[in-house]
Structure formats: C-alpha cells, structure tokens
A = this chain, B = another copy of it.
C-alpha cells in the first residue's frame, strides 16, 4: 500500500502548499474582495478561487463558505459532462465543441475530473498539451485536472468550481472525465446532460463499457466516425441503439440518442449541439430540468457533509487517532474496532 501511501503524502504536501498559497492569497484577497473579482470575470481571481475550494484544511473552510455564499450558482447555465475510455478522443471533441459554442456567443469553461492518476498525474508516456486553441480563446477558460488524494476531494472541488465559473459569467460548462470507474457517477451528479463517448467498430468496447455507465448517459456519441471507419461505426451505433431498448426508461423519460460524429471533419457536431438544446427545451417543459438540478443540490449537500465530518473529527481528535493507530499496528486492536472507538469519542465543533 506504500505507493498509495506515498501518493497520499504527496497529495497532503500539495494540499499544504496550496493552502499556504491561499493563506498568502488571503492577505490580499478576502472572501468578499475575491468574490467581487470573480463576479467581474477576472480570470486570475477565478483561478485563485478554484484553488481555495480545492483546499481541504479545516481552517480554510470558513473562508470557502464565505466565498461560496457570495457566489451562488446560476440557473441559466448549461452543464454538459463527457466520459469515455482513454483514446475515445474526449479532449479533441470538447475543444471543437467549445470553439463552436464560443463562436455563437457562449462563454465556455472546461473542467476535468481524473481520479486515476494519484501519484504524479498524467499519462505514462507523456501528456499532450490539451485544448491549446480553446485555452487561448478570450471567451473560454480551461482548468486542468484537480490534484487531490481522494475522488471525494476531486469531485467536491469540481462541483464548487462549476459554481465559481458560473459566477464569473461562464454559461456553458463542459466537464470531462475518464471512463470506466467511479468518476462518471460524480460527474453525472453535476451536469444537466451527460454524454458517453464510444469508439466505433472496436468490438471489445461493446463488452467493455459497463451497463451502469450506459444507463447514466443522455447521449451516446460514436466518435471518430471517419472515411473507412464509417461502416464499423454504423454497426456500433446500431448495436447500442438495440441494446438501449432493453434498458429501463431513464428518469428523464427519454431513451438516450445515439449519434455518430467526427471531430476531424466536424461531421455530426451540428447534430450534437441541436440535440442538446432540444433536450434543454423538452426537459424544461416537462419539469425534469428543475427536478434533476434539485436532486443534484441535495447530492452535493450529502458530499459536503461527509467531507466536513471527517475533517472536523480529524482536527479535534488528532491525538486519540495517533494512539489508536499505534494499537492497530501493534495488533492490539483491529482497524474496525479502532475506528469505532475513535468515532465514539466526543468532539466539539469550535468554528
């Protein structure tokens, strides 16, 4: 477990460094002045505010609370999630999609949730520079993947980052995550429309994509539908269309659409955009749009409660924790019994 433990140490160090930055930042920024600068759309203020919400130090929580209280999330925004296995071409699709949207007057923010690289981040054989054109655009904001030791930490930070981007005036929020794993569930719980990207023609992917992920999707995008790959992509699209029929109707009342598209030629991007705007219209009329957002707010409340609880208890019962750790290592207590003993200890929440 040591490599993970090493990862935790690194993450803790990063968190401490980030917190120090925030505290230094706090000498020039108060929650109020920072909130004001975010509302004015100042990019460095937005970046700083996101760094604040990524901090998990208990002492920072009152600042974060004050900041977020000043910056309510917007009801007027459109939030879209994209997932898919590595190699599905997520960044390419999102960049093209985002560039199109800014050309039509949207202000676009891109956020990424990637919990799979805990120690050092990035893919093994070198990170590509991501979305170079979109990140330079004056009407767009591309935030790299948040660093955190836990998926809970990443998704909490991303959820708050959405709120901050909206307060800064961005009205189209694109959230990207790697496929196969828990992160889709986290992202699904933050967005209005959730798209699953598939690579057409790869027989294995039909087996590989888990049913649970397909069931969460509002749109299935068969990507890389180009030239000689078209027949294979059509087969994949048809296979999924048929498979969707055997799944229960989603709570939105609408079975997912399967679209084919290419981000090289741009083919299908028009369709995708139209389909998303239609979903917004239909779901606003049916009430589903508001129902889903309400449920997401409740889920966010639950996530916050879990995180704040453990942080508060760790803060107030640190010595008892260390004593119990010794008992566990020396074999005098099981991990479960020690955890229960520690949870039972009283704590006073001081702030």
Contact = CB atoms under 8 A, between A and B. Distances in A.
Interface in A54-98: 61, 64-65, 68-69, 72-73, 85-87
A76 to B, nearest CB: 14
Contacts of A296: 1
Nearest to A163: B334
B120 A308 contact: no
Contacts of A86: 180, 204, 207-210
Nearest to A218: B3
A303 B334 CA distance: 13
A276 to B, nearest CB: 17
Nearest to A149: B185
Interface in A302-351: 302-306, 308-310, 312-313, 324-325, 328-329, 334-340, 342-344, 349
Contacts of A189: 1, 4
Q: Which of A204, A340, A342 neighbours the largest number of chain B CB atoms within 10 Å of its CB?
A: A340
A102 interface: no
A120 B87 contact: no
Interface stretch (A31-39, A110-118, A227-235): A110-118
A250 to B, nearest CB: 5
Interface residues of A, number: 96
Q: Which of A2, A116, A301 neighbours the largest number of chain B CB atoms within 10 Å of its CB?
A: A301
A70 to B, nearest CB: 10
Contacts of A5: 251, 295, 299
Contacts of A248: 120
Interface string A180-191: 111111001110
A124 B236 CA distance: 13
Q: Which of A243, A308, A309 neighbours the largest number of chain B CB atoms within 10 Å of its CB?
A: A309
A62 to B, nearest CB: 9
Given A183-B182, A291-B2, A313-B309, A122 B211 contact: yes
A292 interface: yes
Interface in A172-225: 178-185, 188-190, 204, 206-216
Interface of A: 1-7, 61, 64-65, 68-69, 72-73, 85-87, 114-125, 151, 160, 178-185, 188-190, 204, 206-216, 239, 243, 248, 250-252, 288, 291-292, 294-306, 308-310, 312-313, 324-325, 328-329, 334-340, 342-344, 349
